[in-house]
Amino acid sequence: MRVSKRLEQLYAIGGGPGANRPHGRAEEDAAHEFAGGWMKEAGLAVEVDQSGNLLGRSPVGADVWVGSHLDTVPRGGRFDGALGVVAGIEAVERVGCGAVVVFRGEEVGCIGSRALVVRGGPLPRAFLELHIEQGPVLERAGAPVGVVTSIVGYARGELLFEGRAGHAGTTPMDVRDDALVAAAEAILQVREAAVRIDGAVATVGQLAVEPGGSNVIPERVRISVDARAPHARRLDELIAAIGFEPVHRTPPSAMAEEPRRILLEEIVSRGLPAIELPSGAGHDAGILAAAGVPSAMLFVRSLNGGLSHSPDELSSEEDIELAVDVLADALRRLASAA
């Protein structure tokens, strides 16, 4: 299947283990090169906007967009982002209408789609994003695809801890000012804050220690904070409980009624269960929805218990083939609607 072959080509760019196409680096550019070539092969008019987002327009109905992102987390999965791009090109080529967009820097705060909406567009009349679920719901339900109801709100930032460098051997324990001990206590509090708030999650994924000698008491430590909750009020509660100043905060966003209904109808017409589910992951569709673009997301089942942001991320060819079909038919209906 051409989609699988193209996913393999993208996966091979970063050299493994996992997908390694960090935003702003040659690997993300190389992936955009591949996607631009496939768009040209599909007969689309290809352009790059001032934020580096790639757009392939078909001659008709190009005001309805499909797409996703090609940057990845370190050692990411084969499907996160890439599936939505490759399937989007497939759908636009098959249907002969619509446009496919590849947003820059989704993993570092959706910077490409944010730049587009801040610039005021041009924005699509509607947006559909196919994405691997990155969770266990569809696998547990025995459903190959599902429709997203809303996208989680999330805030990202960091916490800084200052101490005093000193000799690991000659500084008595009772006079130390150890920044890493303070950071370690804070990391446990981040976890506690999320556990206490219903539906909230929080993660410290990065930690930087200075000066970094194994025999030097840490003087300065920086930790990243990723805080999420399904409702705006709970997200604010979580931010306050952790006590950090977000670098950016994205409110939860509801998916739009019409494109959601069309996706559901396409699923049910195939005799499949109509599963609707919230997304705990952030997506470009959330940025467009928050900017007023009627957006919807089609999830394809994650296998392996929903593992993602991991080389073990997995979806089956059969489910992907079905998801591309549903995406294409939904695109055709949206693009032909007045």
- Interacting residues with ligand HGY (CB under 6 A): 106-107, 281-282
CA angle (183 as vertex; 177, 189 as ends), nearest 5: 130
Least separation in angstroms between CB 103 and ligand HGY: 11
CB-nearer residue toward ligand HGY: 180 or 197 = 197
Cβ-based neighbours of 160, under 8 Å, separated by 6 or more = 220, 221, 222
Distance CA(82)–CA(87), nearest Å, equals: 8
Tell whether omega for the bond before 278 is within 30 degrees of 0, i.e. cis. no
Neighbouring CB atoms inside 10 A of 254's CB total 15
Task: Identify whether the C-beta of residue 87 lies closer than 8 Å to the C-beta of residue 323.
Answer: yes
CB of 282 to ligand HGY, least distance (A): 4
Work out the number of other CB atoms within 10 angstroms of the CB of residue 170: 6
Which residues 6+ apart lie within 8 Å of 190 measured at CB? 202, 203, 204, 225, 227, 242
Q: Of 54 and 180, which CB lies nearer to Mn ion in the complex structure? A: 54
Closer of 151 and 263 to ligand HGY (Cβ): 151
Binding site for Mn ion (CB under 5 A): 80-81
Residues 223, 204: contact at Cβ < 8 Å?
yes
Residue closer to Mn ion by CB (options 154, 161) is 154
- Nearest distance, CB of residue 279 and ligand HGY, angstroms: 8
Which listed option, Mn ion, ligand HGY, none, makes contact with residue 139 (CB within 5 to 8 Å by class)? none
Smallest distance, Å, CB 70 to ligand HGY? 13
Number of H helices, E strands in the chain: 10, 16
Residue 218: name its binding partner from Mn ion, ligand HGY, none (Cβ under 5 to 8 Å by kind).
none
DSSP assignment string, 33-76? HHHHHHHHHTTPEEEE-TTS-EEEE-SS-TTEEEEEE----TTB
53 or 58: CB nearest ligand HGY: 53
Residue 40 and residue 250: Cα distance in Å, rounded? 34
Q: In the complex, what is the shortest distance from the CB of residue 218 to ligand HGY, in angstroms, rounded to a whole number?
A: 28
Residue 263 contact partner, candidates ligand HGY, Mn ion, none, CB within 5 to 8 A by sort of partner: none
Minimum Å gap between C-beta 312 and ligand HGY is 15
| Residue 282: contacted member of ligand HGY, Mn ion, none (CB under 5 to 8 Å, by partner type) | ligand HGY
What is the smallest separation between the CB atom of 106 and Mn ion, expressed in angstroms? Answer: 6
Task: Identify which of residues 106 and 219 has a Cβ nearer to ligand HGY in the complex.
Answer: 106
Phi, psi of 329 (to 5 degrees): -70, -35
**Residue nearer to ligand HGY on the CB measure, 19 or 62:** 19
Between 58 and 250, CB nearer to ligand HGY: 250
Q: Which residue is nearest to ligand HGY (CB)?
A: 281
Specify which residues 64 forms β-bridges with.
126
Q: Which two tokens stand for residue 270?
A: 């195939």
Give min distance, CB of 107 to Mn ion, in A.
5
In this structure, what is the dihedral angle of CA atoms 73, 66, 251, 186, given to the nearest 10 degrees? -10
By a kind-dependent CB cut-off of 5 to 8 A, residue 111 interacts, out of Mn ion, ligand HGY, none, with: none
